[in-house]
Structure 1
Amino acid sequence: MKWLTIILLTLLVLLQHRLWFGKNSWPDYIQLKQEIASQTQANKVLANKNNLQYKEISDLKDGLEAIEERARSQLGLIKKNEDYYRIIE
């Protein structure tokens, strides 16, 4: 009976050691959980950026107003019979 108790206690200690210090241990689990939360947040930010770009692409494909706005702001284009004023501060 004494040997059985010693063997069972040794087995329990070995299993506990693996739980706390071995591969895929409890601290590893907590670290991975934090990494997943961080990556999920980064994915949300990137998904929002993607949605904005999809909306911009849709505007460029469908609406002429967006094209006109880009031409005016980035290329400095103006319409016929339109006066262009540049204000320098």
Structure 2
Amino acid sequence: MKWVTLVLIAAITWFQYSLWISKGGWRDMWRLQDEVAGQEEKNRALTLRNNALQAEVDDLAQGQDAIAEIARVDLGYIQNGETYYRLVYRR
């Protein structure tokens, strides 16, 4: 009877080890949940960036206003008949 108790205790201990510590156990599941949460956050940020880029592409495809704005801001272009003023701040 004593050996049956020892075998049952060993089996329960082994199952608890498998459940909590071994590969595929609770600890592994918690780590994977943290990784999934981090990846979902990255995906949300990338989705927002993609939406902004898609809106800019649609705007560029629709008309010339967006093209003119990009040329003015990024490239410094000036249209005919406009006067360009440059302000230099010195400290």
TM-score norm. by structure 1 comes to 0.85
Q: What residue identity is the alignment partner of 1:34?
A: D
CA distance in 2: counterparts of 1:72 and 1:30, whole angstroms: 51
Equivalent residue, structure 1, for 2:19: 19
Q: Give the structure 1 partner of residue 53 of structure 2.
A: 53
Aligned partners of 1:79 and 1:57: how far apart in 2?
Answer: 23
Cα distance in 2, alignment partners of residues 80 and 10 from structure 1: 89
Identity %: 38
Match for 1:88: what amino acid? V
Residue 49 of structure 1 deviates from its aligned partner by: 0.6
1:4 shift after superposition: 4.2
Corresponding pairs, count: 88
The match for 1:84 is 84
Does residue 7 of structure 2 align to residue 7 of structure 1? yes
Counterpart of 1:69? Answer: 69
Q: Structure 1 regions of 5+ residues with no counterpart? A: none
Unaligned 5+ residue runs, structure 2? none
Q: Matched residues in 2 for 1:43 and 1:23: separation? A: 27
TM-score where L is the length of structure 2: 0.83
Q: Deviations over 1:46-74 (max 9, x none)?
A: 11011101111111111211001111122
